[in-house]
Amino acid sequence: MTDIAFAWSALGGDPALLARVSTVVREGALPARLPVRELARASVGVCALAAAELGARRARLAEVPRVRLDDGAVATAFTSERHLLVDGRAPVAFAPLSRFWRTADGWVRTHANYPHHREQLLRALQLPEDPAAVGAALAERSALEVEETVYAAGGLAVAARTPVEWAAHEQAAAIARRPLIGIERLGPARARVLPPLTGSPLLPAAGLRVLDLTRVIAGPVATRTLALLGADVLRLDAPGSAELPDQHADTGFGKRSATLDLAVGRRTFQELLAAADVVVTGYRPGALDRFGLSAAELTERRPGLVVAQLSAWGAYGPWAGRRGFDSLVQAATGIAAVEGSPERPGVLPAQALDHGTGHLLAAAVLRALTEQTSEGRGRVLRLSLARTAAWLTDGIAPGEAGLGDEAPSPRLAETDSPLGRLRYAPSPVSFEGGPGDWARPPGPWGADPASWA
């Protein structure tokens, strides 16, 4: 079930601490047939509780601070990209070629927000950049044929499956055998010594350095949350691989952004790694190995490091090496079929797999740091959007959640930034004495030096 007790147990947390969590229930938050509100509440709840636990440990508090969840704040944060305004301008969520398309035998979902993905999609289909031409061509082909053809060319497309069809897939079977959060403990058992915290607000991750090698939503949401909690987060991207501007604005709060060519800047990266406490990666499994950035190599070069790896489909099974996004995972795993109608697939009320997995990842990092203060050892943490999807759909019958309830009003804030005047969704991670907002707004992509503050 998508409840906080299950997620907290998956993180290895003390069940007694769950009594420190209270919830303000909003019946209209994230309405869907699947229990999206409960997944969102649970993932944010364990993140806030893990932050409060680490903060109490470092500040030597007698009790773990109380956590207060508000479904309205959680729902707003889970749709943050929709609420963002930059100087009054609303972002564009999906490109014209990122959508469901009818095929000869069903539906296929494509993703072409990034220019290189759009080019690979069109090259695979041997078509011009014309939605009408793409629609006409796909209508004559089977969904599975499109899926395989586009993926073989490096593009992104998946056939929309029913839950039964997905359950029969080898990748679904591989995912079902894995825990919600994979945790591997490595190296000598030397306790990590973290300096004590003083002052206000309580910042559990203060003084910790996080290398952020992620893109899109889930990974950046995790590192954005660690930045909220006081970590020095440095995001690294390859030169010439700029993040989508609005996506960067939405998920760049609290962080610095630099570019580094890993092929020629290995000495610089090694210097960064030597002082890092956490490395978060969000590329498909194996994509960074050629740069010597596999989890095994990272933890060998930096003993005691926490490595958090995020992927779309998991680092196992026949789809382990495939790229993916929240929208594609929803289509493949049967979520789109459950949320849709006989006439057309549907979608969740938020990119909940992204936001939920991002908060789970941040929670796993925080719990790893807490455990290290007593037992030491480095950690490799593995999460995937597809495994979070399995958590959402496990044993849940369609129609259990209300679809017609009125949604709560969004909880928004505004600030000036180097990017302009921003309207944004505050973080839903809240606990007694904790931070209320990020210490800095996002700046231009890639404008910071590749060095620690």
Q: Give per-residue pLDDT as tens, 238-248.
A: 998 778 889 99
Strands 413-417 and 420-424: antiparallel
Distance CA 20, CA 2 (A): 19
Confidence bin at 395 (pLDDT 50/70/90): low
Sign of CA dihedral 291, 295, 297, 301: positive
Is 261 labeled as catalytic in the residue annotation? no
pLDDT beyond 60 at 439: yes
How would residue 122 be classed by pLDDT, with cut points 50, 70 and 90? Answer: very high
Say if residue 20's pLDDT is above 80.
Answer: yes
What is the spatial distance between Cα 369 and Cα 209, in angstroms, rounded to a whole number?
A: 12
When pLDDT is averaged across residues 72-79 and rounded to a whole number, the result is: 97
CA distances from 441 to 74, 144, 206 (A): 20, 43, 17
Structure tokens at 357: 């997995």
Q: What is the average pLDDT across 59-80? A: 97
Residues 390-396, mean pLDDT to the nearest whole number: 83
The confidence band for 115, taking pLDDT boundaries of 50, 70 and 90, is confident
What residue ranges do the domains of the chain occupy?
A: 4-92+172-319+346-424
State mean pLDDT over 200-211. 97
Q: How far apart are CA 211 and CA 263, in angstroms?
A: 17
CATH code of the region 4-92+172-319+346-424: 3.40.50.10540
Alpha-carbon gap, residue 226 to 232, rounded angstroms: 8
At position 328, the amino acid (one-letter code) is: L
Question: According to the model, what pLDDT value does residue 2 have?
Answer: 58
Please say if the pLDDT value at position 404 is more than 60.
no
pLDDT at 295 over 90: no
Q: Which amino acid is at 62?
A: A
> From the candidates 87, 354, 394, 416, which is the catalytic residue?
354
Give the percent of the chain with pLDDT over 70: 97
**Would strands 157-159 and 413-417 be described as parallel, antiparallel, or unpaired?**
unpaired
